[in-house]
């Protein structure tokens, strides 16, 4: 994961919340389901994340079109993902003795919402948001230390966990899915070609390139490339 630094709630979402709260004598339909401006919110989330999925690092912008699997039924899209699922957000309101739709619940909290790659059509290709579904995720991409909890491997494109919570997160999101590993491997072989990238300065240059946004975008799997490049520097004392 790459940490997502949340800023201010986008105007499209805040205006909806404020408008519903202003309804007299009581707010109504104050739910994500009734929120009408999802395309605008999706665009704001994608820009905040530099065009990358908050779970996997795959693109969620127009670059999605270049991604394919061996299963022709699978398709990919940009999905507005709730870190805490909408059912849990609704249950919290009910458990407090309040009426869902009349108070602001976490299904409308910008800090609970990210852009994520959605896999449609082929269950065998389910990873990321669709694999998580309504499960609780022990590590969130909005947490400060999320990047330190995972290590990526150049040899096969896999990801290793640094603690028990990361082990569970990898399982919940199916981050070692064969398709994801093959995509990571292809990107790593491009950025870290051993015939080109050899010295400490070479690796530092790669890290700077993948961590510097360009036109509000970062390279696909930027944090994966960064992780492996830093590993080379540390392991080889460069």
- Compute the distance between CA of residue 231 and CA of residue 235 in angstroms, rounded to an integer: 6
**Cα–Cα distances in Å, from 215 out to 43, 50, 57, 138, 172?**
14, 9, 17, 32, 32
Q: What is the pLDDT of residues 116-167, one digit of tens each?
A: 999 988 888 899 999 999 999 999 999 999 999 999 998 999 999 999 999 9
pLDDT in tens, 187-215: 999 999 999 999 999 999 999 999 999 99
| pLDDT tens by residue, 12-27 | 999 999 999 999 999 9
- In the block, tokens 């969130």 appear at 140
**Residue 224 confidence class, pLDDT cut points 50, 70, 90:** very high
Judge if pTM exceeds 0.75. yes
Provide the token pair at 14: 């805040």
């Amino acid at each position: 994961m790459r940490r997502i630094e949340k800023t201010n709630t986008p105007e499209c979402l805040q205006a909806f919340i404020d408008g519903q709260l202003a309804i007299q004598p009581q707010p109504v339909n104050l739910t994500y389901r009734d929120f009408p401006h999802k395309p605008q919110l999706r665009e704001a989330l994608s820009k905040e994340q530099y065009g990358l999925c908050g779970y996997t690092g795959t693109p969620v912008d127009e670059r999605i079109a270049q991604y394919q699997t061996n299963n022709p039924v699978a398709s990919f899209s940009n999905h507005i993902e709730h870190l805490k699922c909408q059912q849990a957000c609704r249950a919290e309101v009910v458990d407090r003795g309040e009426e869902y739709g009349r108070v602001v619940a976490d299904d409308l909290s910008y800090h609970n919402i990210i852009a994520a790659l959605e896999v449609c059509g082929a269950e065998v290709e389910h990873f990321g948001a669709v694999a998580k579904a309504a499960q609780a995720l022990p590590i969130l991409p909005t947490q400060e230390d999320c990047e330190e909890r995972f290590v990526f491997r150049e040899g096969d494109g896999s990801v290793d966990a640094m603690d028990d919570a990361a082990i569970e997160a990898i399982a919940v999101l199916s981050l070692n899915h064969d398709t994801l590993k093959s995509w990571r491997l292809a990107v790593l072989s491009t950025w870290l070609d051993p015939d080109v990238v050899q010295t400490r300065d070479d690796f530092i240059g790669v890290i700077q390139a993948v961590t510097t946004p360009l036109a509000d975008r970062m390279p696909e799997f930027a944090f994966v490339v960064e992780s492996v490049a830093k590993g080379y520097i540390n392991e080889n004392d460069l």
